[in-house]
């Protein structure tokens, strides 16, 4: 039984009391008053606590076990970062306090901005976007503003490889761009010839994830950059996979003009079951005049103050970004330092290659050779042989205490499983996962029914998603 907190409500029960008002109540005029009180739960603190503690036991985080979810960079989230973000001096300050009363907050924003510019090779950066997709929309809005400001009104095409995350084309459409999909080569790279055909005087930009979702660094990146720049377009770097290359190569040096980062992936801030994250956008100086929101600078007295870019595109949201998430990322970068950042990338790539090497004789790995921080397995052959799908394998992994890899992505691989172990996993953890996946491969041939019936160890079995969509029940 999964009772809702609303089911546990009993009339008259209370949890938190607030101090007496001490003033005569000011009444709300009847014409402005709601007719009935909102039906919120009425529960005692002990019942409230047990309800959510028990729900937490039906959730699974990085702190529970291995989470090799491709393109999501589920690395361990250091606890010191949480403590830093809980400092009262960061929590109990109003965003509209005078800047001289929040010098510590502005210092933190300024420092993180500088660190992220250094890591990406960019000239300027905004911390305002709340998530990766929000960062994409922000960066594309910058590019659009730049193009329009330079009289480039006809550049309305955005080139996106077919291996891209779904957010890329969706963000492009939000900016009114028409998306041109460019197919990948069998090696999972951008097809240079097709790219050449796709560019023209209507090209606004190329959106690229490098390393891409096939786990490959696009070796032709310089040529790609030249093709796009040669046609008068700009290059946008989707930073989802930066964890593979930070400290080794920088988007700015590859030729990119704008980049978004996911602090909740690369910089170890926890995902929170779906946010809050943070998606800062860095750019080269040509785009800096259009940055949104508020940037930090020093005034003549050496005090930090807020500033707005000269031709700012405006606000992407309220205030300055997910500030506390930024504090966590700052704490993380301070802990790692220059060496640690590079080592993190090296170990992420090493772990991925180790895992791939151990699995490639069992499962089909369509993109050959060294991978970066993640790799893709294709289970189409297994499905034909045994009827076992990528999803069946994933569900059995759950019963073995491992969070499944990303399923059915990238779209260019059928029955795909995409694994990203990250740098924070030990060799033992990786060996254990290899063993589990090899065992499942045997089971697929010998006892497929067990896989079809998995998972068995979870609070529920496979849910009926069809009914959920056909007859939506979206609240109690």
Partner 1 sequence: MLRGIGMTDIGDLFASIPDELKLKDKLDLPDPKTEFEVMDALSAAAEQNKIFKSCFRGAGAYRHFIPSVVKRLVSREEFVTAYTPYQAEMSQGVLQTIFEYQTTVCALTGMDVSNAGVYDGAQAAAEAVKMYKDKKRQKTVVSAAVRPMTLETIATYCNSAGTSLVVVPTKNGVTDIDALKAALDGDAASFYFEQPNYYGLVENAAEIIDAVHAAGAKAIMGCEPVSLALLKTPAEYGADAAVGEAQPLGMPLSFGGPYLGFMAVKTSDMRKLPGRIVGKTADDDGRDAYVLTLQAREQHIRREKASSSICSNEALCALTATIYCAALGKEGLCEVASQCHTKAVYAAEKICSVDGFKMKFDGFFFNEFVTTCPADTGAVMKALESKDILGGLPVKIDGEDCILWCVTEVNTAQEIELLKNVLEEAVK
Partner 2 sequence: MSVERDLFYAETHEWVKYLDGGRALIGISDHAQEQMGDVAFINLCDEGEIISAGDEVGDIESIKAVSEIYSPVSGTVSKVNDELLEDPAALNSDPYGAWLLELEGVTENNSLMDADEYEKFIEEE
Q: Which of residues 295-324 bind partner 2 (CB under 8 A)?
A: none
Of 281 and 418, nearer to partner 2 (C-beta) is: 418
36, with CB counted inside 10 A (0-12, 13-18, 19+), is: exposed
Count of residues interacting with partner 2 (CB under 8 A): 5
Range 118-177, binding partner 1 (CB under 8 A): 118-119, 130-134, 136-137, 140-141, 144-145, 165-167, 169-176
> Please, which residues bridge with residue 206 across strands?
159, 235
The rounded Cα 13 to chain-centroid distance in angstroms is 40
Q: Which of 28, 46, 300, 469 binds partner 2 (CB under 8 A)?
A: 469
Peptide bond into 379 cis (omega under 30): no
Q: How far apart are the first and last CA of the chain?
A: 15
Of 25 and 193, nearer to partner 1 (C-beta) is: 25
254 binds, among partner 2, partner 1, none (CB under 5 to 8 A by kind): partner 1
Q: Does 226 bind partner 1 (CB under 8 A)?
A: no
CA-to-CA separations, 165 to 33, 39, 204, 409, 410, in angstroms, rounded:
46, 40, 19, 9, 8
For residue 409 the two structure tokens come to 């992505």
Q: Does 473 bind partner 2 (CB under 8 A)?
A: no
Cβ-defined contacts of 366-371 (< 8 Å, 24+)? 366/188, 366/413, 367/187, 367/188, 367/214, 367/215, 367/216, 368/187, 371/215, 371/216
Q: Least separation, in Å, of the C-beta of 383 and partner 1?
A: 19
Q: Does 470 bind partner 2 (CB under 8 A)?
A: yes
The C-alpha atoms of residue 444 and residue 356 are separated, in whole angstroms, by 20
Of 24 and 465, nearer to partner 2 (C-beta) is: 465
Helix 323-359 / helix 103-120 crossing angle, nearest 10 deg: 30
Which of 103-111, 197-205, 416-424, 433-441 is the region at the interface with partner 1 (rule: CB under 8 A)? 103-111
Q: Does 466 bind partner 2 (CB under 8 A)?
A: yes
At residue 302's C-alpha, the angle toward residues 300 and 303, to 5°, is 105
323 binds, among partner 1, partner 2, none (CB under 5 to 8 A by kind): partner 1
Range 196-235, binding partner 2 (CB under 8 A): none
CB neighbours of residue 70 within 10 Å = 26
The C-alpha atoms of residue 137 and residue 132 are separated, in whole angstroms, by 9
Of 268 and 412, nearer to partner 2 (C-beta) is: 412
Binding mask 389-428 for partner 2 (x = CB under 8 A): -------------------x--------------------
Which of 206-214, 265-273, 305-313, 462-470 is the region at the interface with partner 2 (rule: CB under 8 A)? 462-470
Q: Does 188 bind partner 1 (CB under 8 A)?
A: no
Range 3-42, binding partner 1 (CB under 8 A): 4-6, 9, 13-18, 21-26, 28-29, 31-35, 37-42
Question: Which of 253, 190, 241, 193 minimizes the C-alpha distance to 213?
Answer: 241
Q: Which of 190, 207, 254, 437 binds partner 1 (CB under 8 A)?
A: 254
Q: Which of 147, 316, 376, 400 binds partner 1 (CB under 8 A)?
A: 316
Q: Does 465 bind partner 2 (CB under 8 A)?
A: yes
Collapsed DSSP state (helix, strand, coil) of residue 206: strand
The C-alpha atoms of residue 93 and residue 443 are separated, in whole angstroms, by 56
User: What residue ranges bind partner 2 (CB under 8 A)?
Assistant: 408, 465-466, 469-470
């Amino acid at each position: 039984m999964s009772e809702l907190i609303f089911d546990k409500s009993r009339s008259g029960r209370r949890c938190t009391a607030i101090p007496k008002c001490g003033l005569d109540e000011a009444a709300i005029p009847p014409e402005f008053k709601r007719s009935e009180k909102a039906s919120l739960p009425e529960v005692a603190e002990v019942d409230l606590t047990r309800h959510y503690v028990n729900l937490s036991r039906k959730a699974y985080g990085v702190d529970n076990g291995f989470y090799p979810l491709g393109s999501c960079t589920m690395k361990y989230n250091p606890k010191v970062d949480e403590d830093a973000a809980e400092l009262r001096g960061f929590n109990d300050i109003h965003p509209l306090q005078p800047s001289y009363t929040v010098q510590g907050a502005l210092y933190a924003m300024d420092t993180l901005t500088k660190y992220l510019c250094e890591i990406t090779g960019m000239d300027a950066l905004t911390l305002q976007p709340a998530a990766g997709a929000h960062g994409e929309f922000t960066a594309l809005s910058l590019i659009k503003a730049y193009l329009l400001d330079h009289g480039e009104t006809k550049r309305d095409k955005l080139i996106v490889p077919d291996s891209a995350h779904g957010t890329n084309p969706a963000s492009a459409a939000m900016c009114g761009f028409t998306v041109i999909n460019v197919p990948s080569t069998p090696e999972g790279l951008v097809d240079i010839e097709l790219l050449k055909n796709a560019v023209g005087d209507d090209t606004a930009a190329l959106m690229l994830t490098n390393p891409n979702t096939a786990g490959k660094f696009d070796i032709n990146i310089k040529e790609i950059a030249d093709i796009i720049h040669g046609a008068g377009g700009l290059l946008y770097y989707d930073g989802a996979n930066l964890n593979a290359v930070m400290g080794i190569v920088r988007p700015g040096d590859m030729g990119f003009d704008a980049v978004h980062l996911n602090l909740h992936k690369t910089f170890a801030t926890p995902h929170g079951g779906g946010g809050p994250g943070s998606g800062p956008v860095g750019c080269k100086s040509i785009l800096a005049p259009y940055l949104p929101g508020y940037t930090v600078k020093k005034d003549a007295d050496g005090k930090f103050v807020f500033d707005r870019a000269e031709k700012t595109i405006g606000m992407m949201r309220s205030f300055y970004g997910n500030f506390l998430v930024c504090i966590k990322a700052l704490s993380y970068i301070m802990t790692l330092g220059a060496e640690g950042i590079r080592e993190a990338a090296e170990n992420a790539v090493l772990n991925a290659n180790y895992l791939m090497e151990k699995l490639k004789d069992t499962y089909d790995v369509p993109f050959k050779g060294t991978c970066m921080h993640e790799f893709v397995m294709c289970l189409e052959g297994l499905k034909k042989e045994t009827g076992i799908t990528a999803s069946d394998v994933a569900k059995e992994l759950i019963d073995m205490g491992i969070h499944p890899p990303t399923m059915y992505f990238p779209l260019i691989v059928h029955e795909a499983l995409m694994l990203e172990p990250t740098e924070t996993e030990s060799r033992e953890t990786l060996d254990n996962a290899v063993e589990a996946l090899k065992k499942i491969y045997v089971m697929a041939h010998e006892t497929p029914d067990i896989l079809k019936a998995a998972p068995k160890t979870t609070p529920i079995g496979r849910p009926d998603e069809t009914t959920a969509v056909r007859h939506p029940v979206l609240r109690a």
